């Protein structure tokens, strides 16, 4: 499916899998919640790949780190 949609469904699968994992995690009796969405990730994804193209692939090393940072910013504890 990712090939047919040129990678757009990849963002949806990332958020769906990570959201399921975090929404079913309990730490010290507190449940966690993931608030990220594929639509919210799309703008960042385009920006990161444009920077990768401009820098001839060098920025690609930071894409994974930026994705993990985005996931962390959208992960919260439920009170």
pTM score of the predicted model: 0.84
pLDDT at res. 74: 97
76 DSSP β-pair partners:
33
79: which residues sit within 8 A by CB, 6+ positions away?
A: 30
Other residues' Cβ atoms within 10 Å of the Cβ of residue 19:
19
Q: 4 to each of 9, 50, 65, 69, how far by Cα in Å? A: 9, 21, 26, 28
Three-class secondary structure of residue 37 per DSSP: coil
pLDDT at res. 9: 86
Contacts 24+ apart (CB under 8 A), 22-29: 22/75, 27/77
As averages over each run of 10 residues, the pLDDT of the chain (79 residues) reads 75 94 96 95 92 96 95 94
pLDDT at res. 1: 67
């Amino acid at each position: 499916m990712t090939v047919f949609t040129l990678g757009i469904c990849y963002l949806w699968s990332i958020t769906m899998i990570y959201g399921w994992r975090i929404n079913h995690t309990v730490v010290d009796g507190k449940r966690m919640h993931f608030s990220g969405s594929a639509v919210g990730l799309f703008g960042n994804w385009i920006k990161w790949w444009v920077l990768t193209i401009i820098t001839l692939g060098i920025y690609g090393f930071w894409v994974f780190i930026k994705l993990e940072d985005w996931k962390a910013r959208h992960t919260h504890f439920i009170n």
